[in-house]
């Protein structure tokens, strides 16, 4: 017979059961945290549990993707020969052997060796046969298109907790969208890699041909605002994580501002056409110089004694354009350029946006110089947006890097009939003026050259160096696309008879781009006759 437990024994039994239950709960919680809720953490670094979304072009071609990689750490106390271990790990990973040996000698418990090792690099490490190594999982951004999309896409880096974040370009501009996207989702851009490849090839070829310091270009849908291609040269390899000699990370099309020169005459003639202050067949006296205040406006090339307005644009006369602009006056010119979006920063998905530079005092002298693109600096992307609004029926366009095929034209900035007359004049520039080398049979290209002397970086005045550009629209009778190219400090060649002006450098570049992309973009090769504006306003 077993005696019944005393009251004291019962209390002890209850306390033991409570203790066992408490320890059990703690154990279950520890297992839950360790297996299911713990961050992927070693040595104080927390790593992203989810990769960034892929970036793809408008046709689904992969532009950027996170690939799984491993970071390598070492336990120096496990090495018999620290010098040999440092050399072996440096050879396998590309790390600095001197840095590794220094840290190994300091007897730290853990030493970071290399970040973002690919499977090939991991295999090389394993073949070294060293003890005391630990791999830690993470992600690395990979750009399969390499240099072709480097500046526009930008790059990523690791923040303090080891998560990939955008550092530049669209990676930075779309950082939240790419980081917060559901697993497996991709972000489609407006870029068309077929067009991007062609533009990149032609821009780099022209930069090399004319020995230009930098060059760039873009292709813009004038109805939707979609940017199908944007290129800057020289570029860099976004996968190398280090710049080679001659590389550049600058996106000159969106990040830099330029005095673009005579291509700005597009806006001077648009304003005069809108306000009916000149007729295309109206004749202006050109002469050898046009005095204004204590300055005299001169021509870049010899001009006839008189020119009709349409020939002032076609032959790019500074004196003729000045006279036309002065009819509008300073206040109206400034108001118009502001309305066209040229006096404030253009905001797109690219975070790198420079504010334009323009006169604080806007008098007659400034009206004259601004009329032919001097004394005002804008980004090529901002210029292209305003020019697209001139030719697309006169409605505002805001460029976008997102795929958005619907017509996105906004408010009416100029009358539709003004837009039509400007398209006729721009076609005349290509058939009868400085833009002849941009013509592509069957596509009715319209456009304007720009050759600007570069302003001195320090002090007043201009250097004997040029920035040349060409703004093209096609087909001009029913505009779909705008191509804008820029060459920074091109040099003349034997083939151009030593001339470096836009008609010899930028115009043929734009023409080659159009000839190659028009069939890809399904632009019908059908020439519709265009009647050049010769009558009244």
CATH of the domain at 471: 3.40.710.10
Do 159 and 244 lie in one domain? The reply is no
Query: Does residue 533 belong to any structural domain of this protein?
Result: no
According to DSSP, residue 434 is labeled T
Q: Which two tokens stand for residue 334?
A: 């400034």
> Which of 127, 160, 188 is a domain's end point?
188
Do 363 and 480 lie in one domain? The reply is yes
pLDDT value at position 463?
78
How far, in whole angstroms, is CA 378 from its chain's centroid?
15
Give the Cα-Cα-Cα angle 354, 359, 363 (nearest 5 degrees).
Answer: 155
Do 398 and 323 lie in one domain? The reply is yes
DSSP string of 173-234, one letter each residue? HTHHHHHHSPTT-EEEBS--HHHHHHHHHHHHHHHHHTT-SEEEEEEEETTT-BEEEEEEES
Do 147 and 222 lie in one domain? The reply is no
- Segment 464-523, tens digit of pLDDT: 899 999 999 999 999 999 999 999 999 999 999 999 999 999 999 999 999 999 999 999
Element (H, E) at 271: helix 265-275
Give which of 382, 380, 408 is closest to 470, Cα–Cα.
380
CB neighbours of 507 closer than 8 A, spacing ≥ 6?
A: 434, 435, 436, 437, 438, 447, 449, 470
CB neighbours of 325 closer than 8 A, spacing ≥ 6?
A: 268, 271, 272, 333, 367, 368, 370, 371
Q: Are strands 186-188 and 54-56 parallel, antiparallel or unpaired?
A: parallel
Neighbour-count burial for 116-131, b at 16+ CB within 10 Å, e otherwise: bbeeebbebbeeeebe
- Residue among 206, 232, 233, 262 flagged as catalytic: 262
Number of residues that make up the chain: 537
Query: Does residue 21 belong to any structural domain of this protein?
Result: no
Query: Does residue 419 belong to any structural domain of this protein?
Result: yes
Do 261 and 114 lie in one domain? The reply is no
pLDDT value at position 35?
31
pLDDT value at position 147?
95
Helix intervals (H) in 94-192: 97-105, 119-127, 150-153, 169-173, 175-180
The strand pairing partners of 473, in sequence order, are 446, 482
CA–CA gap between residue 171 and residue 52 (Å, rounded): 10
How far, in whole angstroms, is CA 258 from its chain's centroid?
15
Do 133 and 265 lie in one domain? The reply is no
The residue with tokens 């040029």 is 466
Do 182 and 206 lie in one domain? The reply is no
Number of domains in the chain: 2
Q: Does the annotation count 262 as an active-site position?
A: yes
Give which of 312, 531, 320, 509 is closest to 427, Cα–Cα.
531
Q: Answer for the pair 162, 138: CB distance below 8 angstroms, yes or no.
A: yes
Q: Which domain holds residue 172?
A: 54-79+86-188
Q: Which two tokens stand for residue 298?
A: 């001169």
Question: What CATH number should be reported for the domain holding residue 137?
Answer: 3.90.1310.10
E strands in 256-397: 283-285, 290-292, 295-297, 306-308
* First-residue to last-residue Cα distance in the chain: 123
Q: Which residues of the chain have pLDDT under 50?
A: 1-5, 8, 14, 20, 22-49, 531-537
Q: How many other C-beta atoms are found inside a 10 Å radius of the C-beta of residue 56?
A: 19
CA–CA gap between residue 118 and residue 94 (Å, rounded): 12
> Which of 155, 188, 221 is a domain's end point?
188
């Amino acid at each position: 017979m077993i005696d019944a437990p005393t009251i004291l024994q019962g209390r002890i039994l209850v306390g033991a059961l409570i203790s066992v239950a408490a320890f059990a709960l703690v154990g279950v919680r520890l297992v839950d945290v360790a297996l299911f809720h713990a961050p992927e953490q070693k040595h104080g670094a927390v790593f992203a549990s989810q990769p960034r979304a892929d970036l793809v072009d408008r046709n689904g071609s992969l532009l950027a993707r996170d690939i799984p990689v491993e970071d390598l750490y070492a336990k120096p106390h496990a090495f018999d020969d620290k010098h040999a271990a440092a050399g072996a790990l440096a050879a396998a990973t590309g790390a600095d052997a001197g840095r590794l040996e220094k840290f190994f000698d300091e007897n730290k418990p853990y030493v970071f060796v290399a970040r973002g090792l690919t499977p090939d690099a991991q295999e090389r490490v394993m073949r070294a046969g060293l003890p005391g190594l630990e791999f830690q999982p993470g992600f690395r951004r990979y750009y399969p298109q390499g240099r072709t999309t480097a500046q526009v896409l930008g790059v990523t880096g690791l923040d303090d907790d080891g998560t990939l974040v955008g550092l530049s370009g669209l990676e930075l501009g779309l950082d939240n969208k790419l980081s917060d996207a559901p697993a497996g989702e991709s972000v489609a851009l407006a870029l068309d890699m077929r067009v991007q490849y062609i533009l990149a090839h032609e821009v780099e070829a022209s930069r090399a041909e004319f020995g230009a310091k930098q060059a760039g270009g873009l292709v813009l849908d004038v109805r939707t605002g979609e940017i199908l291609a944007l290129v800057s040269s020289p570029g860099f390899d976004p996968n190398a994580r280090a710049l080679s000699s001659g590389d550049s990370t600058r996106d000159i099309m969106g990040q830099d501002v330029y005095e673009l020169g005579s291509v700005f005459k597009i806006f001077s003639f648009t304003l005069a056409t809108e306000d009916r202050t000149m007729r295309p067949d109206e004749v202006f006296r050109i002469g050898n110089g046009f005095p204004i205040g204590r300055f005299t406006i001169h021509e870049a090339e010899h001009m006839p004694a008189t020119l009709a307005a349409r020939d002032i644009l076609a032959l790019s006369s500074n004196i003729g354009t000045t006279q036309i602009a002065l009819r509008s006056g300073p206040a109206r010119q400034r108001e118009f350029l502001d309305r066209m979006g040229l006096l404030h920063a253009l905001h797109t998905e690219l975070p790198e946006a420079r504010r334009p530079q323009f006169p604080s005092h806007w008098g007659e002298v400034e009206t004259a110089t601004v009329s032919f693109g001097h004394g005002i600096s804008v980004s090529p992307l901002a210029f292209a947006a305003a020019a697209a609004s001139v030719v697309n029926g006169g409605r505002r366009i805001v460029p976008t890097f997102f795929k958005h095929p619907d017509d996105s034209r906004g408010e009416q900035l100029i009358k539709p009939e003004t837009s039509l007359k400007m398209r006729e004049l721009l076609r005349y520039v290509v058939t009868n003026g400085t833009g002849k080398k941009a013509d592509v049979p069957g596509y009715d290209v319209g456009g304007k050259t720009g050759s600007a002397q570069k302003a001195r970086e320090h002090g007043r005045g201009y250097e004997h160096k040029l920035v040349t550009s060409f703004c093209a629209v096609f087909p001009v009778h029913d505009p779909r696309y705008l191509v804008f190219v820029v060459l920074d400090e091109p040099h003349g060649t034997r083939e151009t008879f030593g001339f470096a002006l836009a008609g010899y450098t930028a115009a043929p570049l734009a023409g080659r781009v159009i000839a190659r992309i028009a069939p890809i973009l399904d632009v019908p090769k059908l020439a519709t006759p265009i009647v050049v504006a010769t009558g009244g306003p």
